[in-house]
Amino acid sequence: MVLADIRYFEAIGDYVKLYTTLEILVLNESLKNLIEKLPEHLFFRIHKTYIISLNHVQYVEGNYLRSGNTDLPIGAGYKDEFLQRLQDKSRKKGK
């Protein structure tokens, strides 16, 4: 598996579910530790229980985003920075 295959991470108690384009894995890791290890230009924490791959965001509507066939909530405390990050990513892509 490569970073490009990762869609998102979901905290489940003391574990994290890793959703990829092909499978779901369970990791003995915390979201806090993961976000410190992941490249910040590719991943963003959107909620207390989710980290999303910016490459797999299909669209944002209100307080939710779509990744694959899944709608994920965007926490109020994360939303402004998340939307700014998406906008910055779009600008860089357009160059």
Helical residues (DSSP H) of 11-51, grouped into ranges: 31-37
Q: Which fold has domain 3-94?
A: OB fold (Dihydrolipoamide Acetyltransferase, E2P) (2.40.50)
pLDDT tens, residue order, the chain (95 aa): 799 999 999 999 889 999 999 999 999 999 999 999 999 999 999 999 999 999 999 999 999 999 999 999 999 999 999 999 998 887 777 66
What does the block give as tokens for 37?
A: 């290890």
What is the separation, in whole angstroms, between the first and last Cα of the chain? 29
Contact yes or no for 39/27 (Cβ under 8 A): no
pLDDT at 93: 72
DSSP 3-state of 57: coil
**CA pair distance 82, 39, nearest whole angstrom:** 15
Q: Would you state the pLDDT for residue 53?
A: 97
Residue 89's SS3 state is helix
Would you state the pLDDT for residue 88?
A: 85
pTM of the model: 0.92
Backbone region of residue 68 per phi and psi (left: phi > 0; alpha: psi in -120 to 50; beta: other values) = left
Rounded to whole angstroms, how far apart are CA atoms 38 and 54? Answer: 12
